[in-house]
Amino acid sequence: MPSFDIISKINYQEFDNALANCLREIANRYDFKGLNISIERKNKIITTLAPDELKLKQVNELLQVHLIRRKVDPRVIIVKNSEDAAGATIRQISELAEGISQENAKKIIADLKKLKLKIQIKIQGEELRAQGKKRDDLQDVISALKAMDIGLPIEFINFRD
């Protein structure tokens, strides 16, 4: 019985490269000269410091551009509210979303069942496994998932015939 896994995973090496490129551009930009702006990643937490909301928004947009250039989906960043920090700066803490949550998994399964394909989908931790009798059914699942807006970057791995 053919099957494959549906996962949501971050390539941390590419993410760190995009972050380093963003920091390099911030250091070279004229409008950011002499300002206390920083971006750090520790595990799945990103901390951004900027002098005001406008600069914080520009830094976030710049990071998204660099993520896209490195082929990392910017939807992996879940932006939280900003707060005041020491030294008249604003701190924003964001999280990296990895894995498919139970709510998203149930939503994906419900949307796929509406298509009435002859497949079975099981939740296995933070990933899904799709099984079907025909390879064509699984290819229909892949095309349907690519067309859906889940809000997460998804990948298809471990295809077995």
The one-digit pLDDT tens for each residue of the chain (161 residues) are 888 999 999 999 999 999 999 999 999 999 888 888 999 999 899 999 999 899 999 999 999 999 999 999 998 999 988 888 787 889 999 999 888 889 889 999 998 888 888 889 999 988 999 998 988 888 988 999 888 888 888 889 988 88
Q: Quote the CA–CA distance of 48 and 60 in Å, as a whole number.
A: 8
DSSP 99: S
> Cα–Cα distance between 110 and 80 in angstroms, integer?
28
Q: Is domain 12-96 in CATH 3.50.50.60, yes or no?
A: no
Q: What CATH topology corresponds to 3-8+99-160?
A: Alpha-Beta Plaits (3.30.70)
**Domain spans, the chain:** 3-8+99-160, 12-96
Confidence (pTM): 0.82
